């Protein structure tokens, strides 16, 4: 196999640009559901349970598909798996666009969730076809564009759904994904496989991890409602612990585990995943709280902003998030991941505490949200590029998939925790959360983020996976 990797075909800016366009389109498609759940609930005549189901489908599917995509990409070649994966995503996007009701939309969302797996496959391609220094920058660009695409989807989903229809909300980014996939297929050279093993899919590990994720989300989402039923809550926690223990036991014995626990146990790998999770929890909580506060109509707080106005408020953060990827890749290459991560954590923690103290004007939240977006992009990009370029060439997909799964879980957990806090802070007989619940949410997000400094201080200047 080493002879096939001796002289890989070098890719140019056009190929990297195609991967970046695919990242933007995928990120946009991933993010259109969350800000439009109230609209979907109204149009599809579904209750809170249906909205909760839609909100968790993409994170769960992404967390399950991403490690498989990374492992198959390492085994059979990044481009080969990427094109096949994006065909599934495009089908899911069109199913969602044409869905007449909730059951069909659920199917579409499950298929769409595979899109997160495109990132480790893109990293495999970049790692194979560019020198180490250039590959860090390219990975930073692709990562930043995926985050920027997610922000763009959040920004435009509401206006598109209101001005056109919910169908176009899915159709437009899906069309962009189709175009980007065709460009990738045309511009990116075929890459060789790095592994010759024929180990199958770790189905027991996949099933147990599915149970872990579903139970975890249920525990977080239902905790306030189950406070009056402690036995039910304790039962769910015990079930979660049993599923985690079973999953670990299965993964340790699997010939080709879905998630390689030995790799995860490497000091800088687990430090990077813990740091990524904490940063993404803080980011997701802030996104949820800020958008809710813009929309709120409380006594002396809130701005009664509609979907279009909120989209305008989010625009600076979208631009900053897109730029943060390339900035993080360049900075990490010059100063090491520890410097970038430490700076990002401090920036985000300060911004979150500042929003807790000062939020009387809409622009206060605009600036705070932009700083959070910048910090998140810097930290996640630094972790991803460091792991991607320091792991063994035939482990690029597996290693980066661990970071990306952590990102998905952190974003999902933060959003749900923000929702739980606002629900708990809503007075009886009212549908407007108290201002104190927003303050508490920002403070908790800031504290969680600041605790990440305990991880960064133990990291070396560079990350070795």
pLDDT of residue 354: 95
**Distance between the two ends of the chain, CA-based, in angstroms?**
22
Would you give the distance in Å from CA 291 to the centre of its chain? 18
User: How far does Cα 50 stand from its chain's mean position?
Assistant: 22
Q: Are 127 and 194 in contact (CB under 8 A)?
A: no
Q: Say how many C-beta atoms besides its own lie within 10 A of residue 441's C-beta.
A: 29
Rounded CA-CA distance 193/257 in Å is 19
If you compute the radius of gyration of the chain from its CA atoms, what whole number of angstroms results? Answer: 21
pLDDT of residue 8: 59
Q: What is the DSSP string of 421-464?
A: HHHHTSPTT-SS--HHHHHHHHHHHHHHHHHTHHHHTTS-SS--
Tens of pLDDT along the chain (465 residues)?
444 444 556 777 788 888 889 988 988 888 888 777 767 777 877 655 566 667 667 777 877 888 888 878 877 778 888 999 999 999 999 999 998 888 888 888 888 888 888 888 888 888 877 776 677 778 778 877 887 788 788 778 878 888 888 889 899 999 999 999 999 999 888 776 655 555 666 778 778 877 887 787 777 666 666 556 677 778 878 888 898 888 888 878 877 776 777 777 777 788 888 888 999 899 888 888 888 888 777 777 888 877 667 777 877 887 887 777 777 777 777 777 788 888 999 999 999 999 999 988 889 999 999 999 899 888 888 887 777 777 666 667 777 777 877 887 888 788 778 877 887 787 877 777 888 888 999 999 999 999 999 988 887 665 444
CB 111 within 8 A of CB 89: yes
CATH of domain 10-194: 1.20.1250.20
Q: Residue 197 is encoded by which pair of tokens? A: 């093993």
The rounded distance, in Å, linking the Cα atoms of 109 and 102 is: 10
Say which residues have a Cβ less than 8 Å from residue 418's Cβ, sequence separation at least 6.
Answer: 284, 285, 288, 289, 292, 441, 445
**Residue linked to tokens 């036995």:** 231
- How far lies 86's CA from each of 116, 175, 201, 319, 403, in Å? 10, 12, 19, 25, 20
pLDDT at position 50: 63
Assigned token pair, 131: 């020198």
Contact 264, 270 (CB under 8 A): yes
Question: Would you say 398 and 261 are in contact if contact means Cβ atoms under 8 Å apart?
Answer: no
Which two three-digit tokens encode residue 105? 């939309």
**Quick one: pLDDT at residue 47?**
59
pLDDT of residue 223: 62
Give every CB contact of residue 427 below 8 A, 6+ residues apart in sequence. Answer: 434
Cβ–Cβ under 8 Å, residues 223 and 420: yes
Is residue 142 a contact partner of residue 13, using CB atoms and an 8 Å limit?
Answer: no
The topology under which CATH files domain 260-465 is Growth Hormone; Chain: A; (1.20.1250)
How many angstroms separate the CA atoms of 326 and 420, rounded?
Answer: 34
Write down the pTM of the prediction: 0.76
Pick from 369, 220, 345: nearest CA to 290: 369
In this structure, the chain runs to a length of: 465
CA 194 centroid distance within chain: 27
């Amino acid at each position: 196999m080493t002879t096939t990797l001796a002289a890989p075909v070098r890719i140019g800016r056009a190929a990297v640009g195609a991967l970046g366009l695919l990242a933007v389109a995928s990120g946009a498609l991933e993010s259109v559901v969350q800000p439009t759940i109230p609209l979907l609930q109204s149009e599809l005549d579904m209750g809170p349970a249906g909205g909760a189901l839609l909100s968790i489908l993409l994170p769960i599917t992404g967390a399950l598909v991403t490690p498989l995509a990374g492992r198959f990409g390492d085994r059979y070649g990044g481009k080969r798996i990427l094109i096949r994966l994006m065909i599934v995503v495009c089908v899911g996007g069109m199913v969602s666009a044409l869905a007449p009701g909730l059951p069909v939309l659920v199917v579409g969302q499950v298929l769409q969730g595979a899109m997160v797996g495109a990132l480790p496959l893109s990293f495999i391609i970049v790692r194979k076809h560019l020198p180490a220094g250039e590959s860090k920058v390219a990975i930073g660009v692709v990562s930043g564009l995926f985050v920027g695409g997610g922000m763009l989807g959040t920004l435009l989903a509401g206006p598109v759904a209101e001005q056109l229809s919910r169908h176009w909300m899915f159709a437009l980014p899906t069309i962009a994904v189709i175009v980007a996939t065709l460009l990738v297929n045309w511009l990116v050279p075929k890459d060789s496989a790095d592994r010759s093993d024929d180990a199958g899919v770790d189905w027991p590990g996949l099933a147990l991890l599915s149970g872990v994720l579903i139970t975890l989300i249920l525990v977080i989402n239902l905790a306030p409602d189950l406070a009056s039923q402690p036995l039910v809550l304790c039962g769910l926690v015990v079930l979660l612990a049993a599923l985690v223990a079973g999953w670990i036991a299965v993964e340790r014995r699997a010939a080709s585990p879905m998630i390689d626990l030995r790799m995860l146990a490497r000091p800088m790998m687990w430090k990077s995943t813990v740091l990524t999770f904490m940063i993404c929890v803080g980011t997701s909580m802030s996104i949820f709280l800020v958008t809710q506060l813009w929309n709120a109509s409380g006594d002396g707080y809130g701005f009664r902003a509609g979907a279009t106005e909120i989209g305008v408020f989010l625009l600076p953060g979208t631009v900053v998030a897109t730029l943060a990827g390339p900035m993080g890749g360049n900075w990490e290459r010059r100063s090491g991941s520890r410097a970038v991560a430490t700076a990002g954590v401090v920036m985000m923690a300060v911004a979150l505490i500042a929003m807790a103290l000062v939020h009387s004007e809409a622009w206060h939240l605009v600036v705070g949200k932009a700083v959070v977006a910048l910090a998140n992009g810097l930290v996640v990009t630094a972790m991803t590029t460091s792991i991607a370029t320091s792991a063994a060439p035939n482990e690029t997909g597996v290693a980066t998939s661990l970071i990306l799964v952590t990102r998905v879980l952190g974003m999902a957990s933060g959003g749900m925790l923000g929702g739980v806090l606002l629900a708990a802070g809503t007075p009886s007989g009212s549908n407007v959360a108290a201002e104190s619940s927003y303050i508490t949410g920002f403070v908790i997000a800031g504290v969680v983020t600041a605790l990440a400094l305990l991880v960064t201080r133990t990291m070396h200047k560079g990350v070795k996976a």
